[in-house]
Amino acid sequence: MGVSMKSNKLLLIIFLLLNSFLVSQEYTLIKNGNLLTVANGKMLATDLLIKDGKIYKIGKNLSSPAGTKIIDASDYFVMPGIIDAHSHMAIEDGVNEATNPITSEVKIEDAIEHDDISLYRALAGGVTTIHTMHGSANVIGGQCETLKLRYGKNPAELIFQNAPRTIKFALGENPIRVHGRGNNIHPRSRMGIEQIIRQAFLDAKQYKKEWEDFKNNQTLIQPKKDLRLEALVDVLDGEMIIHCHAYRSDEIIMLLNVLKEFDIKKVIFQHVLEGYKVAKELAEFGAYASSFADWWSYKFEVYYAIAHNPAILTNYGVITSINSDSPNLVRYLNLEAAKSMRYGNLNEDEALRLITINPAIQLGIDKSVGSLEVGKDADIAIFNRHPLSSFSRCEMTLIDGKIYFDRKNDPNDMRLNVNPNLPVGFDSFSNTLNDFFYNFCMDEFD
Amino acid sequence: MIKKIFIFFLSSFVSLLAQNYALVHGEVYTVTNGIIKQGTVLISDGKIIDVGKNISIPDDYEKIDCTNLKIYPGLIDAGSAIGLVEIGSLPETIDNLELGDFNPNVQTLTAINPNSVLIPVNRAGGVTTVLSEPQGSLFTGQSSLINLFGFTPEQMAVKKIAGLHLVFPSKGRVSSFDKSALKEREKRFTRQMENLDELWVMAENYNRNYQKAKLNNELHLFKKNFRFDPFISLFEKEVALVITVNRDTDILRAIDWTKNKNINVIFSGVTEGWRVAKQIADAKIPCLVGPILSLPTRPEDRYDRPYTNPKFLYEAGVTIAFRTGESSNVRNLPFHTAKSIAYGLPEDVGLKALTIFPAQIFGVDNLIGSIEKGKIANIVVTDNNILEINSQTKYLFINGKNVSLENRQQELYEKFRKRD
């Protein structure tokens, strides 16, 4: 009796050990695909072995242990999961805290809608990571969040672990319209915007000094906590990276000058549609650029935008990405990247970088995603044709080696939450929903 | 006299120099008669004079070598705001929208700016012709089929009045900004439906009286009402009623509404057409679908519904054409189509739906939509499949004119790619 109890226990221990062994060692082999590695060029008819959510091996005719999940990618194109550096998905009703020209204290992290169907639709376009941002209503907006599109998981599990903190700034027409024209307060012009940013940084500097003095016992009175200024101190210290919505070349130069004044080294310009006019200055500063492919003329500050913007910026040595700012456009970022070949003659590799490693660099996550390299996260998109062809179609998307989208097994209705009280088609639109119907940046204001 | 001779000489010189072209050694996508390898297209006096293999080229034709190039008929966008909307957010530059429910008399051709900066930028993408459509509520006005080249709206017009436009009442949300309750939308819908039926009766009466007066040679006695006049050409079937409709229930209601009205009907938008494709086909209503690069209309819908919509319509037997609904990026028209090809539409059908199908739908297939003898010389020459993003337009002919591909975006590119 006692013996059998013991052996039962032993069996249980063995079973548990085996179980943990199996759980921790999960293999997936993507067989015989044409790899667009981004890091090391194109590798035709090559295998990619995934172990525990990471890229484990890349090579021809790789062997894999028994029980490996096999994905036949013959004739297909395998690329790193697409990264969108400018999105407002998963925060549909919380894009702008438009109550003050400065709201650096608010966090997208607190408002993530993990059940936004847009996330799944983006997965179906090969997208694995997005930077979901505060809107452009305020000169200094809220803190943004980098997400992996682990659709089906809860909000905390969507967050990209160890991604650097980021904050939204916005120049030009939007903050002027909301605050200057809307509320009759500063800024009413691009002149005012500069002074708001300068004053904010001066206040943050002062705040930082007050706390340092207190901590160094130079003063006995504890300064009042100010979450708004605290966030800006993090910006001054380089711990939170600025993603600045900007269009015109003059305002781009303006921000560069203010940043130099406060010794802030890192900035990513968002939209930056006139970046092509000051590509030299952007390159000299070491600023990054995240642009649209070809959108223009939807407002005056983009009337002089050109589709060659990403190409010119790239040729000047600016790390450039192409973003969507839209739950629609995000679905075909591969085609948007291809436009840099049509307008400005970038080569295939340069075009692919615009939606993979470059946005990864901009978001500070290039050590784990953005290319097919051993050791990186197995975030992978598989297309039936070369993804830069307009005839291409995403077939499968993996995050951490797990399949999150499979065209062959798509169940049609992918909502996570269904309200049974709503009549069928309640939410349907009488209009076609394309891009600037849907300019999320200024949702609730247009 | 000398002056006259000089002018004569000059004009004939210009015509010799600029009017006759021979596109040689190209791959000709006639659309209506297959693909001709190593083909020749002769253009003279604005028209296609001949197309085929082994065609002898008269001396006064300028030869354009199209070796390794592809020759297509100009693409047609079956729904656009180009020339009417210059800057999306500035009302001062928006001319495609009138107030109220009843504007059948307004014409988009009136407000097209032939010198819009957007026109050269977009035609460089191979789109030579667009349906310039009005926007608004219920009867929005008359559209015009225009070429994207000309110094006056009249010069641009292929068909001055292409359709009378109706936005069909709907209970759906207008956009993502529309947060109105279903009850509110239902009220709006009911009011509009009543309004529509009432206006229709008035239009029918007007036409009946007009036809009676015409029959009795009493037109001089007929009391004209310019707001109702456009309905006469509708009832005489010179133009079609172009109905903007997207939701399945709205489409079915619109089909039902048009029954027994004895008019030509075209649907525009038709985003949920796939749900009721058979009914649309049975009603024999052609559809101007798009934009294809868009989102599903319902959260529960499969992610690729907008992409597969043209395929389902085509397979059901509906004649389709593509529309972007755009002003600034009409140039993306071929990529909308390519997307639906990637999701199942046959490629040759896609090309037809960009050329000959819209021409047929608007009754101008004797003028445009294919490379055929006698047609207007609207022609695009590219270095790759015209539906591929990585292709370049090499030559563009509109009305037989070798139109420059220069545009402001290209100029700015040249100016800033290498600056001090």
Backbone angles phi, psi at A137, to 5 degrees: -70, -30
The reply to whether B69 and B184 lie within a common domain is: no
Instruction: Give pLDDT, residue B13.
Output: 46
Residue B114 lies in a domain: yes
Judged by CB atoms closer than 8 Å, whether chains meet at A297 and B173 is answered as no
For residue A3, pLDDT over 60 is answered with no
For residue A74, pLDDT over 60 is answered with yes
* pLDDT more than 90, % of chain A: 87
Instruction: Give pLDDT, residue A17.
Output: 56
Tell me what ipTM this predicted complex has.
Answer: 0.93
Best interface-test mutation with A: which of B270, B389, B406, B414 has the largest number of A CBs within 10 A? B389
CA distance B404 to B392: 14
Instruction: Give pLDDT, residue A418.
Output: 84
Residue B9 lies in a domain: no
Judged by CB atoms closer than 8 Å, whether chains meet at B302 and A413 is answered as yes
Q: B286 CB near a chain A CB, below 8 Å?
A: no
CB neighbour list of residue B365: distance below 8 Å, 6 or more residues apart = B356, B359
Domain limits at B238?
75-368
The reply to whether A35 and A71 lie within a common domain is: yes
Best interface-test mutation with A: which of B303, B311, B345 has the largest number of A CBs within 10 A? B303
Over range B282-308, report the average pLDDT: 95
The reply to whether A268 and A176 lie within a common domain is: yes
The reply to whether B173 and B273 lie within a common domain is: yes
Judged by CB atoms closer than 8 Å, whether chains meet at B294 and A434 is answered as yes
Q: B59 CB near a chain A CB, below 8 Å?
A: no
Over range B308-336, report the average pLDDT: 98
pLDDT tens, position by position, A39-48: 999 999 999 9
Over range B389-394, report the average pLDDT: 97
For residue A7, pLDDT over 80 is answered with no
For residue A436, pLDDT over 50 is answered with no
Residue A365 lies in a domain: yes
Smallest CA-to-CA distance from A214 within A205, A204, A224, A227 is with A224
For residue A417, pLDDT over 90 is answered with no
Interface of A with B in 36-95 (CB under 8 A): none
The reply to whether B220 and B134 lie within a common domain is: yes
Mean pLDDT of all residues in chain A? 92
Interface of A with B in 305-324 (CB under 8 A): 306-308, 312, 315
The reply to whether B279 and B413 lie within a common domain is: no
Q: Give residue A2's pLDDT band: very low, low, confident or very high (50, 70, 90).
A: very low
Helix pair angle (A249-261, A190-215), 10° resolution: 20
Mean pLDDT of all residues in chain B? 94
Residue B4 lies in a domain: no
Judged by CB atoms closer than 8 Å, whether chains meet at A425 and B335 is answered as no
Over range B53-67, report the average pLDDT: 95
The reply to whether A60 and A116 lie within a common domain is: no
The reply to whether B287 and B395 lie within a common domain is: no
Instruction: Give pLDDT, residue B87.
Output: 95
Helix pair angle (A190-215, A227-236), 10° resolution: 90
Backbone angles phi, psi at A180, to 5 degrees: -65, -55
CATH of the domain at B162: 3.20.20.140
* pLDDT more than 90, % of chain B: 90
Q: Give residue A446's pLDDT band: very low, low, confident or very high (50, 70, 90).
A: very low
For residue B256, pLDDT over 70 is answered with yes
Instruction: Give the residue from B342, B368, B394 where a domain finishes.
Output: B368
Shortest CB distance from A430 goes to which of B247, B334, B388?
B247
CB neighbour list of residue A155: distance below 8 Å, 6 or more residues apart = A112, A113, A114
CA angle A207, A210, A215 (to 5 degrees): 125
The reply to whether A149 and A224 lie within a common domain is: yes
Contact B320, B281 (CB under 8 A): no
Nearest CA in chain A to B181: A426
The reply to whether A86 and A231 lie within a common domain is: yes
The reply to whether B338 and B380 lie within a common domain is: no
CATH of the domain at B33: 2.30.40.10
Other CB atoms within a 10 A radius of the CB of residue B20 amount to: 19
pLDDT tens, position by position, B226-254: 999 999 999 999 999 999 999 999 999 99
Best interface-test mutation with A: which of B77, B121, B176 has the largest number of A CBs within 10 A? B176
Smallest CA-to-CA distance from B147 within B117, B166, B110, B120 is with B120
Buried b (16+ CB within 10 A) or exposed e, B225-249: eebbebbbebbeeebbbbbbbbbbb
The reply to whether B282 and B354 lie within a common domain is: yes
Residue B387 lies in a domain: yes
The reply to whether A391 and A286 lie within a common domain is: no
CA distance B391 to B38: 19
Residue A19 lies in a domain: no
Instruction: Give pLDDT, residue B173.
Output: 77
The reply to whether A362 and A380 lie within a common domain is: no
CA B7 distance to own-chain centroid: 38
pLDDT tens, position by position, B169-182: 998 877 666 777 88
The reply to whether B152 and B284 lie within a common domain is: yes
Over range B288-313, report the average pLDDT: 95
Residue B326 lies in a domain: yes
The reply to whether A269 and A376 lie within a common domain is: no
pLDDT tens, position by position, A242-266: 999 999 999 999 999 999 999 999 9
Interface of A with B in 270-289 (CB under 8 A): 276-277, 279-280
Instruction: Give pLDDT, residue A11.
Output: 63
pLDDT tens, position by position, A23-33: 557 999 999 99
Number of domains in chain B: 2
Buried b (16+ CB within 10 A) or exposed e, B119-156: bbbbbbbbbbbbbbbbbbbbbbbbbbbbbbbbeebeeb
Instruction: Give pLDDT, residue A430.
Output: 65
The reply to whether A114 and A65 lie within a common domain is: no
Instruction: Give the residue from A369, A398, A430 where a domain finishes.
Output: A369
The reply to whether A395 and A382 lie within a common domain is: yes
Other CB atoms within a 10 A radius of the CB of residue A424 amount to: 9
Q: A386 CB near a chain B CB, below 8 Å?
A: no
Instruction: Give pLDDT, residue B11.
Output: 45
Contact residues, chain A, for B392 at CB < 8 Å:
342
The reply to whether B153 and B101 lie within a common domain is: yes
Best interface-test mutation with B: which of A127, A390, A408 has the largest number of B CBs within 10 A? A390
The reply to whether A206 and A76 lie within a common domain is: no
The reply to whether B103 and B147 lie within a common domain is: yes
The reply to whether A305 and A378 lie within a common domain is: no
Number of domains in chain A: 2
Residue A10 lies in a domain: no
CA angle A98, A102, A108 (to 5 degrees): 65
Buried b (16+ CB within 10 A) or exposed e, A237-256: eeebbbbbbbbbbebbbbbb
pLDDT tens, position by position, A171-181: 999 999 999 99
Residue A2 lies in a domain: no
Smallest CA-to-CA distance from A67 within A112, A27, A14, A36 is with A27
Residue B3 lies in a domain: no
Residue B297 per-residue DSSP state: S
Nearest CA in chain B to A347: B390
CATH of the domain at A274: 3.20.20.140
Q: B416 CB near a chain A CB, below 8 Å?
A: yes
Residue A68 lies in a domain: yes
Residue A177 per-residue DSSP state: I
Over range B301-314, report the average pLDDT: 97
Judged by CB atoms closer than 8 Å, whether chains meet at B387 and A390 is answered as yes
Domain limits at A205?
82-369
Residue A418 lies in a domain: no
For residue A202, pLDDT over 70 is answered with yes
CA distance B381 to B247: 38
The reply to whether B343 and B374 lie within a common domain is: no
Residue A225 lies in a domain: yes
Helices (H), B318-374: 333-342, 347-352, 356-361
The reply to whether B46 and B115 lie within a common domain is: no
CA distance A111 to A139: 20
The sheet carrying B320-322 orders its strands as: B75-80, B127-132, B138-147, B157-167, B240-245, B265-269, B287-289, B320-322
Shortest CB distance from B412 goes to which of A173, A300, A306?
A306
CA distance A150 to B230: 55
Contact residues, chain B, for A178 at CB < 8 Å:
none
Specify the range with the lowest mean pLDDT, choosing from A113-127, B5-19, B301-315: B5-19
Instruction: Give pLDDT, residue B185.
Output: 87
Judged by CB atoms closer than 8 Å, whether chains meet at A430 and B170 is answered as yes
Interface of B with A in 120-159 (CB under 8 A): none
Judged by CB atoms closer than 8 Å, whether chains meet at B303 and A331 is answered as yes
Judged by CB atoms closer than 8 Å, whether chains meet at B247 and A429 is answered as yes
Residue length, chain A? Answer: 446
